[in-house]
């Protein structure tokens, strides 16, 4: 019998894989489909109904199942979304997301043995059930890296032949119940990368030409004023090219890949500064769904790094000369949304080339203002119109949702030829 963790699905091809899942519905009005890179249950409006996807029979012993739940039904009494491992209708365990609580389900021979915890979509974004040594663990995580055990119980029925069920629905009539989405089944959130290899030297960068040989495309590339950003063979961190940015006074460049629904996110860039800018310059930022910035990283005229939060306050100022000139430095920035204005988190670091040992780092702990809105985009470039006239180069731009950690260096990717300038 195959282990549960051998079943994987990123739900990215907009067609439910019927070699992995059997779908069905009960009641009326609900539907299930693979759309927008997720498995989505549309809950029924004004009637009772459920839709589900079941796996084949699998073995949970010494194994685990993990899934991301990026979208929950509207917080109205009567809606639910669930991950279950089912021996049969009378024996199953899992998570059931309700409007204000999460049920840690454990039905044994038809008798409910469940507990509840308060629902917090920031911290309970990922869900995992695992079995080891005869004990079952219910675990949640904001980023699939940092897990919290919410419950553990001795296995009460045979877990070597269970089906995974992903379902959503309404157990009583709800006028506007919304949708329930699942993603990255037994998979990590992907890391998106762009290495500036997709166009010829001196070609102006646009969103339309940013993909292809460069990697993942950018959603938008916005230039204000007479700033120039081009593919350049002047120097490179990877391959043969990087992005060359030649600013003029009062110009800006915003390279923006987008995200949605994430409470944590990380971004990374390799930066080459021939000289420092003549004033504080924003290079890297994370923005939320209201257009505000939970986290930003800037470098001033002395090489000092400044980290600012949603309020625009500098929560960290490094020593002068932290970021070197004349060589590539890897900059990392990651943020986690808070439940208020005092419990968000920002972490950042700088490393030479692709070293795993940073020469500077910062961690706010869960003490800063990153707002409460979900993340919407990452920004790279010259992110304001300060009168900076110092050119710079960027390479290896990367971003990843659902991560309050640092993206591994680009050296982990195959087929990369290394250059140092």
- The pLDDT of residue 418 is above 90: no
- The pLDDT of residue 413 is above 50: no
Q: pTM for this structure?
A: 0.78
Task: Determine the topology of domain 192-412 in CATH.
Answer: Jelly Rolls (2.60.120)
Domain 4-183 has CATH 2.60.120.200: yes
Q: What is the mean pLDDT of residues 105-121?
A: 91
Predicted confidence at residue 315, as pLDDT, reads 94
- The pLDDT of residue 119 is above 50: yes
Does 192-412 match 4-183 at the fold level? Answer: yes
Predicted confidence at residue 186, as pLDDT, reads 94
Q: Where does the pLDDT of residue 414 fall: very low under 50, low under 70, confident under 90, or very high at 90 and above?
A: very low
- The pLDDT of residue 417 is above 70: no
- The pLDDT of residue 415 is above 50: no
Predicted confidence at residue 83, as pLDDT, reads 97
3-state secondary structure string, the chain?
CCEHHHCCECCCCCCCCCCCCEEEEEECCCEEEEECCEEEEECCCCCCEEEEEEEEEEECCCCEEEEEEEECCCCCCCEEEEEEEEEECCEEEEEEECCCEEEEEEEECCEECCEEEECCCCCCCEEEEEEECCEEEEEEECCCCCCEEEEEEECCCCCCCEEEEEEEEECCCCCCCCEEEEECECCCCCCEEECCCCCCCCCECCCCCCCHHHECCCCEEEEECCCEEEEECCCCCECCEEEEEECCCCCEEEEECEEEEECEEEEEEEEECCCCCCCCEEEEEEEECCCCCCEEEEECCCCCEEEECCCCCEEEECCCCCCCCCCEEEEEEEEECCCCCCCEEEEEEEEECCCCCCCEEEECCCCECCCCCCEEEEEECCCCCCCCCCCEEEEEEEEEECCCCCCCCHHHCCCCCECCC
- The pLDDT of residue 412 is above 60: no
Predicted confidence at residue 411, as pLDDT, reads 57
Predicted confidence at residue 121, as pLDDT, reads 84
- Mean pLDDT, the chain, integer: 91
- The pLDDT of residue 4 is above 70: yes
Question: Using one digit for the tens of pLDDT, what is the confidence trace for 209-223?
Answer: 999 999 999 999 999
**Domain spans in the chain, listed from the N-terminal domain onward:** 4-183, 192-412
Question: Using one digit for the tens of pLDDT, what is the confidence trace for 78-95?
Answer: 999 999 999 999 999 999
Q: Where does the pLDDT of residue 409 fall: very low under 50, low under 70, confident under 90, or very high at 90 and above?
A: confident
Predicted confidence at residue 204, as pLDDT, reads 93
CB-based burial of residue 119 (10 Å sphere; 0-12 exposed, 13-18 middle, 19+ buried)? middle
- The pLDDT of residue 171 is above 60: yes
- The pLDDT of residue 254 is above 70: yes
- Give whole-number Cα distances, 303 to 89, 286, 361, in Å: 63, 21, 14
Q: What is the mean pLDDT of residues 354-372?
A: 92
Q: Where does the pLDDT of residue 60 fall: very low under 50, low under 70, confident under 90, or very high at 90 and above?
A: very high
Predicted confidence at residue 172, as pLDDT, reads 93
Answer yes or no: are the C-beta atoms of 58 and 165 closer than 8 Å.
Answer: no
């Amino acid at each position: 019998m195959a282990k549960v963790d051998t079943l994987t699905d990123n739900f990215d091809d907009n067609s439910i894989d019927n070699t992995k899942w059997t779908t069905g519905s009960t009641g009326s009005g609900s539907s299930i489909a693979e759309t927008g890179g997720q498995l989505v249950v549309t809950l029924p409006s004004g009637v009772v109904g459920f839709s589900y996807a079941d796996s084949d029979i699998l073995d949970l012993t010494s194994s685990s199942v993990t899934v991301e739940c990026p979208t929950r039904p509207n917080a109205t009494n009567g809606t639910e979304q669930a991950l279950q491992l089912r021996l049969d209708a009378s024996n199953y365990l899992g998570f059931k997301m309700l409007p204000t609580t999460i049920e840690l389900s454990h039905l044994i021979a038809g008798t409910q043995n469940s507990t509840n915890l308060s629902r917090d979509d920031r911290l309970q974004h990922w869900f995992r059930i695992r079995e080891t040594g005869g004990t079952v663990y219910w675990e949640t995580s904001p980023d699939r890296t940092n897990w919290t055990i919410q419950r553990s119980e001795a296995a009460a029925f045979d877990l070597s032949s269970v089906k995974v069920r992903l379902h959503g629905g309404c157990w009583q009539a709800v006028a506007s119940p919304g949708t329930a989405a699942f993603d990255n089944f037994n998979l990590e959130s992907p890391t998106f990368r762009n290495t500036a290899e997709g166009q010829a030297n001196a070609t102006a960068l646009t969103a339309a030409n940013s993909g292809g040989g460069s990697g993942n495309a950018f959603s938008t590339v916005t230039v204000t004023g007479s700033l120039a950003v081009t593919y350049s063979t002047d120097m490179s961190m990877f391959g043969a090219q990087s992005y060359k940015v030649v600013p003029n006074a009062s110009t800006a460049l915003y390279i923006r890949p987008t995200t949605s629904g994430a409470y944590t996110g990380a971004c990374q860039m390799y930066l080459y500064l021939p000289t420092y800018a003549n004033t504080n310059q924003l290079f890297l930022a994370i923005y939320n769904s209201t257009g505000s910035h939970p986290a930003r990283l800037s470098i001033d005229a002395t090489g000092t790094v400044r980290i600012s939060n949603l309020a625009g306050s500098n929560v960290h100022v490094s020593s002068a000369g932290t970021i070197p000139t004349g060589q590539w430095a890897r900059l990392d920035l990651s943020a986690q949304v808070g439940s208020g204005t005092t419990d968000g988190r920002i972490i950042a670091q700088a490393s030479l080339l692709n070293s795993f040992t940073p020469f500077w780092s910062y961690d706010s702990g869960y003490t800063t203002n990153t707002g409460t809105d979900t993340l919407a985009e990452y920004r790279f470039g010259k992110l304001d119109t300060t009168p900076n006239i110092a050119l710079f180069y960027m390479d290896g731009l990367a971003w990843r949702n659902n991560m309050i950690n640092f993206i591994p260096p680009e050296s982990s990717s195959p087929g990369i030829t290394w250059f140092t300038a």
